[in-house]
Amino acid sequence: FPTRRSSDLCPQNAKQIRSDVPAVKELIYSGKPVIASIAPSFAANYNNMSIKSIENALKKLGFAYAEETAVGAEIVKNQYLEMMKRHESDIIISSCCHTVNILIQKYYPDLIPMLAHVLSPMQTHCKRLREESKEDIYTVFIGPCISKKHEAEQYKGTTDAVLTFEELSEWLAEENITLEKAEDITDKARSRLFPTNGGILRSMMTAKDDTDYDCIAVSGVD
């Protein structure tokens, strides 16, 4: 990620990253169940805490329950593999990162046909949560990326709101809720590699070797 330059800062300190905590509170106050989709990178943001630790804290805030976005990533991984097996295109660019998608749409439109026509793990997981629920629910994605806020707004009807880990931490502190260690009962193999460099390819393991594609992981602006 690029380093913020001093020239990027507003001299009047008027620009701030929007907090969606009030919006999520409104969803909870509505009385409808609110389910959280937690990005697998929570492990890096909350040291030694399991997904169960995060879920327990979220329940104290009023969430119904929480699940890892890695569930959606597993579905997305399989869709990529199917695309490769069918050889849908000579070049397939992962469409998981909303920032990269916007970059291509704005500055490299000739590459748009190469973007995989696959929902991101966030959208895929939230869609699955809605389909599996026996009642009307709200879904909230919680992760490290502010670009997901724009993604949720652009593709309405799947993810109702997005919080960053920073927003969640501030909200927990405001409510005097501390994270406590709890046993992780989630299958750790479920595509938790997705947010790491080359993670999508590594999550496919040897399955991608059964295709005739050369797989390349690209990282960084340059």
- Give the mean pLDDT of 3-10: 49
pTM of this structure:
0.85
pLDDT of amino acid 216: 85
Distance CA 191, CA 68 (A): 10
- Which spans in 7-89 are helix H? 21-29, 42-45, 51-61, 70-86
Per-residue pLDDT reduced to its tens digit, 104-133: 999 999 999 999 999 999 999 999 999 999
Per-residue pLDDT reduced to its tens digit, 21-54: 999 999 999 999 999 999 988 988 898 898 999 9
Distance CA 46, CA 105 (A): 34
